[in-house]
A and B are shown apart, each in its own frame.
Chain A
Amino acid sequence: MTVAKVHSKWVNGNLVYYQDGQEQRWLDVVGPAVVKVVEEFQFGNYYFTTTSPKTVQGWLNTFVEAGAGDHVEALVNGADGGVLLITTAGNDNDGVNKQCIGEAFNLSLTNKWPAYFGIRFKVSDATESDWVAGLCITDVTLTSAGTTYGVYFRSADASAVVSAVIEENTTETTGTVHTMSNNTYYIYEFLFDGTSIDFYVDGVAITQLATTNIPDTEYLTPSFEYLNGAAGVDTVNIDWIRAFQIQE
């Protein structure tokens, strides 16, 4: 008998579908006031090589391409599940900042609206790269200048260590979550239950950071930035990005 791969539950009266064995992994949500971003990278015109900034499929893409080659993004034809391939230009700090247009995620501790963010991706250079993935304030330089508000995962160049970060007005609470390897897919997720934020890597709960610095005064949006940490063309493959918030 096939085991159900999807289950559902009620969260604040809204219907949340989640993956079997991964209750934190929201797949879809139905309710009267659900904020929803689901990017499976299966279909759509994600292709671009043109001048920064470029808007595709609801994402604002700001890229740096000082080095050899152009910054290129395209769906991968013939990838099970659908995959977005990002190829950076060749200088140190070339790369891309991607943010969903429109800030709609609100981590107010008064409203206590549950929210989820998840991403499955891999990078070609786990050490010499900078990246941020999560919910952040609108900011086209998330890694280099430093985002000021957000809940996200982060890795800085010269290290493959990944940290979980909760940040409000540049004051951070952080915790190390794991060490990345090259060309290996990982699933990074966090769940805000209205009070606390739990961080997961590959389906395993890693840490619950103190909520002192929850960015509850600014709206956030699904965000991803990747920059080379050294001269060389890097690649990033993103299988999916999903983010939801139940705002009622």
Chain B
Amino acid sequence: MTTIHSHWINGNLVYYQSNYMQRWLDAVGPAVIKVKQEFQFGNYAVAAGDATGITREGWLLTFVEVGAGGQLMSLVAGADGGNLLITNAGNEDDGINMQVIGSSFNLSLTNAWPAYFGARFQISEATESDFVLGLCNTDTTLTAATEDGIYFRKADGSTAVSAVIEKTHVETTVAAWTAAANTWVIAEILFDGVNVDFYVNGTALTRQVATNIPNTVYLTPSFEFLNGSAANHTATFDWIRAFQLQS
């Protein structure tokens, strides 16, 4: 059985996963923005004592590592499909902010360039953790202060994950899923040029109004993960993929 299909979007060729038309696997065109991180190969290693502000495979990494253990990151040897393991230092609010260097995603409603962001990931602590995952403005403290983006967010003290559309701090949100420890989730966002749709494990959430689409700031693939309690919590990624068709 075919596991991939293709279709034309604005004259560009987009490959998507069978039965999941929103899940872009690749795109070919004259002006395609493309970030594909399968976490299979490369030097993603972060060791205790590495300074905050270092870069790995095109990502800028900003750490808070007050607690025991230091911030760690590495590929998982022998994981099918490739995995990236992130292990935070041991204090509450220790953790990592990671953003792809170079902001190229433009959600202008005039250009109306379709875009996709998706990630398959899991976290070790469902309640006492904070994260932001999606396309955001450049910001090294995403959970505390991002102001423009389309993303998923969870605050500590709760397992509720929200889907957020935010422009200059004004948000539209909808409930996304209830976090569970050590459970894979595929979180996806599709901008069709007019609206933003969020998907969780392949199922679309209720569409939000487009009022707060961040159409005046360039965005970049982003993830921040902080402990919500004093412990070495982990996050594991299978893949992160993002595309935009800019013609």
Contacts and interface: CB of A to CB of B under 8 A. Distances in A.
A42 B13 contact: no
Interface size class of B (residues with CB under 8 A): 20 to 34
A40 B247 contact: no
B120 interface: no
Interface stretch (B27-35, B89-97, B124-132, B204-212): B27-35
Given A6-B11, A44-B58, A45-B58, A78 B103 contact: yes
A230 interface: no
A155 to B, nearest CB: 25
A145 interface: no
B100 interface: yes
Given A4-B8, A5-B11, A42 B104 contact: yes
Contacts of A6: 11-13, 28-30
A4 B138 CA distance: 33
Contacts of A172: none
B157 interface: no
Given A43-B35, A43-B101, A45-B55, A5 B10 contact: yes
Contacts of A27: 28-30
Contact of A42 (B29, B30, B102, B138): B102
Contacts of B8: 2, 4
A17 interface: yes
B220 interface: yes
B106 interface: yes
A248 interface: no
Contacts of A25: 30
B246 interface: yes
Nearest to B30: A19
A25 B247 CA distance: 16
Interface string B40-62: 00000000000000010010100
A202 interface: no
A26 to B, nearest CB: 11
A43 B58 contact: yes
A41 B100 CA distance: 12
Given A17-B28, A27-B28, A82-B33, A2 B104 contact: no
A10 interface: no
Interface in A1-56: 2-6, 8, 17, 19-20, 25, 27-28, 40-47
A121 to B, nearest CB: 15
Contacts of A40: 32-34
B184 interface: no
A80 B104 contact: yes
Contacts of A81: 31, 33, 104, 246
B46 to A, nearest CB: 14
B177 interface: no
Which among A8, A27, A47 has the greatest number of chain B C-beta atoms within 10 A? A27
Nearest to B31: A81
Contacts of A2: 8, 10-11
A82 B221 CA distance: 14
Contacts of A8: 13
Contact of B218 (A41, A46, A78): A78
A27 B32 CA distance: 10
A42 B31 CA distance: 11
A119 to B, nearest CB: 14
Interface string B215-226: 001101100000
What are the 10 A-B residue pairs with the smallest beta carbon separation, nearest first?
A5-B11, A78-B218, A75-B102, A44-B58, A45-B55, A43-B102, A19-B30, A42-B104, A77-B103, A43-B100
28 contacts: A4-B11, A5-B29, A6-B11, A6-B13, A6-B30, A17-B28, A19-B30, A20-B30, A40-B32, A41-B102, A43-B35, A43-B58, A43-B100, A43-B101, A45-B58, A46-B101, A57-B58, A75-B101, A77-B103, A77-B138, A78-B104, A78-B217, A80-B104, A80-B106, A80-B246, A81-B104, A82-B102, A82-B104
Given A5-B10, A25-B30, A43-B220, 7 more contacts: A3-B11, A6-B30, A40-B32, A44-B58, A45-B58, A77-B102, A82-B102
Interface of A: 2-6, 8, 17, 19-20, 25, 27-28, 40-47, 57, 75-82
